[in-house]
Structure 1
Amino acid sequence: LAAIAACQSETSSPPFRLVIESSNSTLNGTVLGACHEGAAIEGLCSTSILVTDDPVPATTFHYNVSSSANNDTDTQGSLHYTLVTANFNVTSTMGFSFDPSSNLAIPIISPGGNSATFVSFDSCGALYISDGIDDTTDPPGRDYPGKKLENWYICTTYWSYTYTTLAWKVGTPDVPPQNPTCQKVRVKRVFN
């Protein structure tokens, strides 16, 4: 059992920031930051902090993958953030929050890892999710090796508060978000 547990341990990346690439010059080159959504719960908010600015705790993230992976390029893993408080630190994991009335999922960072949404980074640092099932055909089936989907948008969203946050457009990329505030972006990892 110890050997199995050792094979399932996670390796954490060096710290990095999530940088927005956008045709909107106000967003382009800015970094995402953790923003308060509840008790030790954060969203991924748009900020005015530039990638050229010094890193701060609210804009610093880590990526965890299985220790059996040789590197983390194109490897599924989980996005982590450490909430720093006066008395203790809380390690949290990003997972999607879905509302059945919307075609957007909101990335929410919360303690623990039970509700992680697995993501990947390509060789250029772009954040993506691999599709696993293709249900655009009859019959639906596995989509192997899967497409690298980058359905990322910056939108005005509501979870516990109204913020401008990163959002994921659920489903095929050719159908736009129903939220009229959404702007298409690319998210890239830049190490601190």
Structure 2
Amino acid sequence: MKFSTTTTLLGAALAGSASAQNYTQSAPFTLRVVSSDPASNITDSYLYACHAGAAIEGLCVGSNSTTPTVSNTYYFNTTTCDGCTPTNLGSLVWNLPVQLPDADHYSEALSISLDNLGSNVHFPLFEGGYGSTQLGFTDDKKLFASVYGDDSKNVPGERPESVTEELQNWYVCWGTVGGYYYQALAWVTAGEPHNPTCEKVEVVRDDI
């Protein structure tokens, strides 16, 4: 059966990743979008994990119901190790329900990849066994991505200073998320979105 095959693959990935990572998982929370347009019909809507492929999920816009469910509950993983410098960065994860002998879920980390080279709009995905994008939360619980440097200030022959920035280039757009067409959370790499359906938002963590 397809589900059994997927579960077997996830079990193998889980076994391989568990020995390589030492992380602390936060208490559960939901993610709410706040539009830059107060009259928007998506402001205060909650994001839910929507099917985008085999054990792959995007972050789609759902209702404004505050009720936590399996699909709209997330966690924040921070890694720990001897000698590491403490950081406020980590992985945003969603727990995919699975049927394994020793587990009932598998934590999938969110990653932002260049899924469409013809656009500056990219849809984050939860995937098992892949590297995650380093994210964090501001003091007022807004989700950001950590980047190093601003190449818009580069000059010929001069190596730029490495400066860490906390960007919140989040939008809600209609687009292809994995193999499906959804209204979902997207990341715009720079400038105005190439996709005309995009609406600027902030992503806010609401603790449960």
TM-score interval w.r.t. the shorter chain?
A: 0.7 to 0.9
Q: 1:74 to 1:67 in 2, by over 3 A?
A: closer
- Alpha-carbon contact 1:132-1:142 (below 8 Å) kept: no
Matches within 5 A, 1:84-163: 84-85=97-98, 88-98=104-114, 99-112=116-129, 114-136=130-152, 137-138=154-155, 139=158, 141-144=160-163, 146-159=164-177, 160-163=179-182
- 1:44 is the counterpart of 2:59: yes
Task: State the 1:115 CA deviation.
Answer: 2.1
By how many angstroms is 1:189 displaced? 0.6
User: Are 2:29 and 1:16 equivalent residues in the alignment?
Assistant: yes
- After superposition, what is the alpha-carbon deviation per residue over 1:14-72, rounded to whole angstroms, capped at 9, x for unaligned? 0001111112432111110000001111000011133xx2200100000011236xxxx
Which is greater in Rg?
A: 2
Is the 1:126–1:186 contact (alpha carbons within 8 Å) kept by the matching residues of 2? yes
AA in 2 matched with 1:111: G
- Partners of 1:117 and 1:126 lie apart in 2 by 16
Question: What SS is found at the alignment partner of 2:192?
Answer: coil
Q: Which residue does 2:45 correspond to in 1?
A: 30
Task: Report the Cα offset of residue 13 of structure 1.
Answer: 0.7
Q: Which runs of 5+ in 1 are unaligned?
A: 1-5
Q: What amino acid does structure 2 have at the position aligned with 1:190? A: D
Partner AA of 1:161 in structure 2: Y
**Percentage identity across paired residues of the two chains:** 33
Q: Which one of 57, 60, 71 corresponds to residue 73 of structure 2?
A: 60
The 5 Å alignment of 1:63-82 reads: 63-67=76-80, 75-82=88-95
Aligned residues: 177
Contact 1:74-1:120 within 8 A present in 2 as well:
no
Unaligned runs of 5+ in 2: 1-18
Q: Higher mean Cα deviation, 149-158 or 16-25?
A: 16-25
Aligned to 1:3: none
Residues 149, 165 of structure 2: 8 Å contact kept: no
